[in-house]
Amino acid sequence: MTKPYLQYIFIFLFSILSCVFAQSKKQLYKAAVASMENKDYENATYYYHLLLLQDSLNTEYQYQLATMARLNYQNDLSFYWYKKLFDENPDKYPEVIFYLGLLNKNKSNYKTATKFFDKFYRKYKSVKKYPEYQQMVEEAKIHIAACENAVLSKSNAPSIQIIHLDSNINSTLSEYAPFMNDTALIYASIQKNKEEASFSQIYSARFQQDTFYKSHPISPLINEPNTHLANFSLYKKIIFFTKCKAINASEFECKIYAMRYINHHWTSPQELSSEINHPRYTTTHPHITQQNGKNTLFFSSNRPNGRGGMDIWYAYFDDQLNFEKPLNAGKNINSEYDEVTPYFDDIRQRLYFSSNTPHSYGGFDIFQSHWNKMDFEPSANIGYPINSSFNDIYYSFSKNRKLSFFSSNRIGAYFEEMPNCCNDIFYYYTNDTLLKTDSIIPVITKKDSAVQTFSKLKLLVPLTLYFHNDEPDPKTKKITSDKNYQRTCELYMQMKDEYVREYTSELKSKALIDATRLVEQFFEDSVEYGFSQLEKFANYLEELMINKATVKIVMKGYCSPLASTEYNINLAKRRINSLRNYFYQYKKGWLMPFIKNEQDTSMGKIILVDEDIGELPFSKVSDNLKDIRNSVYSPYAAAERKIQIIAVELK
């Protein structure tokens, strides 16, 4: 038995430890918030990690850790905590669904990303109920289309070998902004000083006989100690570059400088006038070229009167560096997102730039647009393998146009501790075909358009549709039905509350919460999602018929084991028939002529085929009619009552 005085000692020590713990927790939280405000996402991630070690069930800490890790490119860590929140508190942080889509997109898991984006769109598309999420809802729609395009681009990518420059150039930190003349590659590299602080400096590497030699810092006239410098561009005897100062841990205010070569000497760097370097805003990524026969400075800036974020701008100038008023590159280039790193090919009059628009395949992608002497035409993603699901920026050519360069944090880039943290320089050989076609994007013919649409259609397969028990037309042996799957699905969705009630009636506490969530997720992620995919499938089918294609669609039915095999076979046939009715009645019968077409080869044709049908093999679902909780209302039983489009073929 513990002596009385020892009890008091234990109580005293416990109170002290509790105070220390509370103070430590308070200090950690204060440090985490301060790091967030300074946009120091690495340290913020660290502090929230420590907070979770003390209070692992705190959902706010979980959410902030996931968010800070995402902003710090720690995708796996971010995904883990977002997924935990989604599984355990799906309605507390609605944007988590969106971010799970984004993280999957950034890892090129495009099909999974599409499911999350689609779920977010369906759940929060109501302007009246969720006005605060409408921007993300619109972005989710764009992300879905971008994921489809990424898969198509990846499967039809041209044969280009992307080469990762070795450690003569790239390091475990960041290398970017490549500029290549006849004999050297000039680029920016982040290095650490004696105090372990990181600064960007400009380096040069000799290039001879297809070999890049060990790089060295260029003239100290440009590379100032403890100063961020980058974005080298050369015009005649004038060097342009960027000098930046840190605003916080992630953002910089940059200005463009120039140096002249006069009497065999370089002058001191001079900041360009306020016409270019707008006060209190960033001006960076200078690129000098010829446009419409005029000397032109392209740059990116977040100055006023843009379209949002960083925009691409350009300004004409004379040999004395007198600049005209900068012009915004316009709506075909700029968006409400960030457009950066412009590079203008003066021979083909084509602008290359990077953007983090949702139209990208993940992060920043490289886009291109043709200048028609009056305006920039609509831009296009230059596609795989140049672009990836990571950040792809700073596109440029060598002076002889034989090599094309870009920077990326894709898989393969060097790193010290965290993959995808840092950019490296990559390049490829620009062959004659690419130069002649003016683009790595192939010209799309009408036939190619049909093939691309079919590829999008094929991405939806297998497409699974679900039914309530013994629907449609219960308690009959008919093999046909006049029901349309759309109406059948609508009635099924209205039964969600009934399914929750019946499946959870005998449960309490956490088991009740988990079972409720399981049923709700089945209706949202299986029943509703399946129908949304069917609508998309029908839209693509319509496009294919307009292009006079012939498409074969193979369907298969399944049932849960509540009745005889004979009954189930007839039920599966009725279910497939309800899908046929959906196609028959699509847009008031628009597809019907193509389904019934047997002779006319001048128009499109749809061939509907039924595969083997019946109950699923090795079913573990209860077949006891008295146990309706498990045989009817269980999500596991409901998952077996389905039909699928299992294959499509373009003939």
Q: What is the CATH number of the domain that holds 227?
A: 2.115.10.20
- Give the pLDDT score at 270: 93
| Helix (H) or strand (E) segment spanning residue 592 | helix 592-596
| Same domain as 550, residue 432 | no
- Give the pLDDT score at 567: 87
Least confident of 64-73, 353-362, 578-587, 603-612: 603-612
| Same domain as 639, residue 518 | yes
Confidence of residue 558 (pLDDT cuts 50, 70, 90): confident
Least confident of 112-121, 261-270, 364-373, 379-388: 261-270
Q: What is the mean pLDDT of residues 254-273?
A: 90
- Give the pLDDT score at 421: 86
Confidence of residue 643 (pLDDT cuts 50, 70, 90): very high
102 occurs within a structural domain: no
The pair of structure tokens assigned to 413 is 């880039």
**601 Cβ contact list (under 8 Å, min separation 6):** none
The pair of structure tokens assigned to 259 is 């140096």
Q: What is the mean pLDDT of residues 457-477?
A: 94
- Give the pLDDT score at 437: 47
Which of the two residues, 566 and 34, has the higher pLDDT score? 34
- Give the pLDDT score at 539: 96
**308 Cβ contact list (under 8 Å, min separation 6):** 334, 335, 336, 337
- Give the pLDDT score at 446: 47
Beta strands in 251-372 (DSSP E): 252-262, 265-266, 270-271, 283-291, 294-301, 311-316, 327-328, 339-345, 350-355, 365-370
Confidence of residue 9 (pLDDT cuts 50, 70, 90): low
Residues 558, 570: Cα–Cα separation, whole Å: 11
- Give the pLDDT score at 443: 43
Residues 362, 365: Cα–Cα separation, whole Å: 7
127 occurs within a structural domain: no
Collapsing DSSP states into helix, strand and coil, what is residue 524?
helix
Confidence of residue 126 (pLDDT cuts 50, 70, 90): very high
- Give the pLDDT score at 561: 67
| Same domain as 426, residue 464 | no
- Give the pLDDT score at 448: 67
End-of-domain residue from the set 409, 443, 477: 443
Indicate if the pLDDT at residue 330 is higher than 90: yes
| Same domain as 231, residue 290 | yes
| Same domain as 594, residue 537 | yes
Indicate if the pLDDT at residue 119 is higher than 70: yes
In 72-189, alpha helices (H): 75-88, 95-106, 110-124, 134-155
Contacts by 196-202, CB closer than 8 A, 24 or more apart: 197/226, 198/173, 199/225, 199/226, 199/227, 199/228, 200/174, 200/228, 200/229, 200/230, 200/244, 201/229, 202/229, 202/230, 202/232, 202/241
26 occurs within a structural domain: yes
Indicate if the pLDDT at residue 94 is higher than 80: yes
Mean pLDDT for all residues in the chain: 89
Indicate if the pLDDT at residue 326 is higher than 80: yes
- Give the pLDDT score at 222: 87
Domain hosting residue 12, numbered range: 1-91
- Give the pLDDT score at 198: 83
- Give the pLDDT score at 3: 52
Buried-exposed string 403-437: b where 16+ CB fall within 10 A, e elsewhere: bbbbbbbbeebbbeeebbbbbbbbbbebeeebeee
Least confident of 447-456, 461-470, 545-554: 447-456
Residue 63 near residue 83 (C-beta atoms within 8 A): no
| Same domain as 465, residue 395 | no
Using CA atoms, how far residue 582 sits from 320, 458, 479, 488, 577, in Å, is 70, 19, 16, 10, 9
Least confident of 84-93, 432-441, 462-471: 432-441
- Give the pLDDT score at 23: 58
- Give the pLDDT score at 438: 46
| Same domain as 614, residue 522 | yes
Which of the two residues, 618 and 547, has the higher pLDDT score? 547
| Same domain as 320, residue 187 | yes
Q: Provide the CATH number for the domain around residue 19.
A: 1.25.40.10
Residues 76, 21: Cα–Cα separation, whole Å: 29
Place of tokens 């792809």: 392
- Give the pLDDT score at 400: 86
End-of-domain residue from the set 418, 443, 468: 443
| Same domain as 345, residue 396 | yes
Confidence of residue 444 (pLDDT cuts 50, 70, 90): very low
- Give the pLDDT score at 442: 46
50 occurs within a structural domain: yes
The domain tally of the chain equals: 3
Q: What percent of the chain has pLDDT over 90?
A: 70
Q: What is the 3-state secondary structure (H, E, C) of 186-212?
A: EEEEEEECCCCCEEEEEEEEEEECCEE
Using CA atoms, how far residue 39 sits from 32, 43, 338, 418, 426, in Å, is 10, 9, 18, 18, 29
Q: What is the mean pLDDT of residues 380-404?
A: 93
Confidence of residue 298 (pLDDT cuts 50, 70, 90): very high
| Same domain as 255, residue 209 | yes
| Helix (H) or strand (E) segment spanning residue 503 | helix 496-504
Residue 249 CB: number of other CB atoms within 10 A? Answer: 14
At 193-238, the pLDDT tens digits run 766 678 899 999 999 988 999 999 998 888 888 889 999 998 888 8
| Same domain as 453, residue 580 | yes
End-of-domain residue from the set 61, 91, 121: 91
Collapsing DSSP states into helix, strand and coil, what is residue 435?
helix
- Give the pLDDT score at 474: 93
Q: Which residues sit opposite 373 in a β-bridge? A: none
Residues 172, 421: Cα–Cα separation, whole Å: 9
Indicate if the pLDDT at residue 647 is higher than 70: yes
559 occurs within a structural domain: yes
- Give the pLDDT score at 447: 53
381 occurs within a structural domain: yes
468 occurs within a structural domain: yes
604 occurs within a structural domain: yes
Q: In one letter, which amino acid is 77?
A: L
Confidence of residue 562 (pLDDT cuts 50, 70, 90): low
DSSP state at residue 416: S
The pair of structure tokens assigned to 181 is 């003349």
| Same domain as 74, residue 168 | no
Indicate if the pLDDT at residue 615 is higher than 70: no
- Give the pLDDT score at 264: 83
